[in-house]
Amino acid sequence: MKVLIVGSGGREHALALSAAKSPKVEKLYCAPGNAGIGQVAECVPIGAMEFEKLAAFAKEQAVDFTIIGMDDPLVGGIVDVFEEKGLKVFGPRKNAAILEGSKAFSKDLMKKYNIPTAAYETFDDPKEALAYLETAKMPVVLKADGLALGKGVLICKTLEEAKEGVKSIMEDKKFGAAGNRMVVEEFMTGREVSVLSFVDGKTIRILSSAQDHKRAKDGDQGLNTGGMGTFSPSPFYTKEVDEFCHKYIYQATVDAMAAEGRPFVGVIFFGLMLTEDGPKVLEYNARFGDPEAQVVLPRMKNDMLEVMQACVEGRLDEIQIAFEDNAAVCVVLASDGYPVAYEKGCPIEGLERFEKTQDYYCFHAGTALKDGKIVTNGGRVLGVTAKGADLKEARRKAYEAAEWVRFANKYMRHDIGKAIDEL
């Protein structure tokens, strides 16, 4: 099979490595890819939002199967464009990717189908939002409706902050058109867990759980980022939590989408909060998490292509997903200053050590080739993952390997997976 992956981050590198392991795959392309992906796939210089060009490339090269890694093209309808041209593609159509593309849509869906989530109100008019906030309990959570690189969420402790928030989202349009509509949500407390799943429109198969670390600095301080590190599985995702989520959240979401005439095929990422009143959905994403994929996929025993084909062909019920009985930790190596301002183009040393060592992975997120050398090219530069017998071993190994790599302005959190010490 010839396979094309669309995207250019650490998640897509993890997808590329899993695809390359499949005996089904003879040729792997990635558009646009990055320097690390270029070691396992042929990178094609077409942007992830250039749907027509990507589909034309897939036709010309007789690509058998395309995997969409990123949220923007999915929400923009890339799957519909590929399907119209008779191309096989893994990911939700536009009418289903709205599960991630509109927070108002996903909240309304959960309300209609009794899927546990935080109480909320939706506003199109900032004046109405401000009036509502006068009576709301603080802290309160404001969410821009549309995609905002994971940054369109403001947690406001006081009424003053909330008023400022409405202004920045709805009036100043800090997150662009994503803020034309806004969701105001009850603040929840608890531990967060990410659960990824494969879905074929009817059947859902859950993958091993993970936990992200979204804030830039140790101790969950600093700004929200795309994610600074992950571990899998999450010891807080107990058998009881799993049973509850199967009963009230997972299949209920898949059935709700089907009932709405929006059958979901692809990956649903459930962002869960384990509250005192039980697990609740914080958000849905319509794709693998980044850097969740970097700790979940290396532990999956299945041939990823086989599972994805079963999703597209509506026969996921024939497949059982199996995971290695171990753990993985991913530490993101970022450019100092991320997520605000940072330097690019710094040479990266020490990458060759990963080629010789089993159970260690160095996923490239923001890298590029310059004069034959690998250089930094983004805020999140690399994701160093290690597998171990348990979380403690995996964490020790991941931090050991994080030291193998050197580049100017290298920055990382030092407390990824620290939560396991509380157990």
Task: Answer whether 141's CB lies under 8 Å from 118's CB.
Answer: yes
Number of CB atoms found within 10 A of residue 371's CB: 6
The per-residue DSSP string of 267-292 comes to EEEEEEEEETTEEEEEEEESS--TTT
CA geometry: angle at 153 spanning 152 and 155, to 5°? 150
**Least Å distance between CB 275 and ligand AMP?**
9
The residues, ordered by sequence, that sit 6+ positions from 189 with a Cβ below 8 Å of its Cβ are 273, 275, 276
Q: Does 212 bind ligand GLY (CB under 6 A)?
A: yes
Bridge partners (DSSP) listed for residue 155: 141
By a kind-dependent CB cut-off of 5 to 8 A, residue 118 interacts, out of ligand GLY, ligand AMP, none, with ligand AMP
Q: Which token pair is 72?
A: 């923007």
Cα 298 to Cα 296: distance, rounded to the nearest angstrom: 6
| Residue 388 CA from chain centroid, whole number | 23
Q: Which does 192 bind (CB under 5 to 8 A by kind): ligand GLY, ligand AMP, none?
A: ligand AMP
Count of residues binding ligand AMP (CB under 6 A)?
Answer: 15
- Verify binding: residue 220, ligand AMP, rule CB under 6 A: no
* Measured CA angle at 214 (ends 200, 283), to 5 deg: 40
Cβ-based nearer residue to ligand GLY, 116 or 289: 289
Query: Are 303 and 20 within 8 A, CB to CB?
Result: no
Report how far residue 147's alpha carbon sits from residue 106's, in angstroms, rounded to the nearest whole number. 13
Instruction: Name which position in 214, 370, 392, 396 contacts ligand AMP (CB under 6 A).
Output: 214
What phi, psi does 368 have (nearest 5°)?
-150, 165
Task: Report if residue 188 touches ligand AMP, rule: CB under 6 A.
Answer: yes
Closest to ligand AMP by CB, 64 or 71: 71
- Rounded to a whole number of angstroms, the minimum distance from the CB of residue 334 to ligand AMP is 18
**Which two structure tokens, joined as six digits, stand for 267?**
């990956």
Task: Using CB under 6 A, pick the residue from 12, 100, 283, 292 that binds ligand AMP.
Answer: 283
Provide, rounded to whole angstroms, the least separation between the CB of residue 143 and ligand AMP: 6
Identify which range of 9-17, 149-157, 248-256, 396-404 contacts ligand AMP by CB under 6 A: 149-157
String marking each residue 280-309 x if it binds ligand GLY according to CB under 6 A: -----x---xx-x-----------------
Residues numbered 100-129 forming contacts with ligand AMP, rule: CB under 6 A: 118
Tokens 């089993």 sit on residue: 358
227 binds, among ligand AMP, ligand GLY, none (CB under 5 to 8 A by kind): ligand GLY
Nearer to ligand GLY, 33 or 150 (CB): 150
201 is an interface residue for ligand GLY by CB under 6 A: no
Q: If residue 245 lies in a helix (H) or strand (E), which one and from where to where?
A: helix 239-245
Instruction: Sketch the per residue contact string, 341 through 360, with ligand AMP: x for CB under 6 A, - otherwise.
Output: --------------------
Q: What single-letter amino acid sits at 159? A: L
Binding track, positions 220-239, relative to ligand GLY; x by CB under 6 A: -------x------------
Alpha helices (H) along 287-390: 293-296, 304-312
Q: Does 136 bind ligand AMP (CB under 6 A)?
A: no
- The values of phi and psi at residue 318, to 5°, are -80, -10
Residues that bind ligand GLY (CB under 6 A): 150, 212, 227, 285, 289-290, 292
Residues that bind ligand AMP (CB under 6 A): 118, 141, 143, 150, 153, 155, 185-188, 192, 214, 271, 282-283
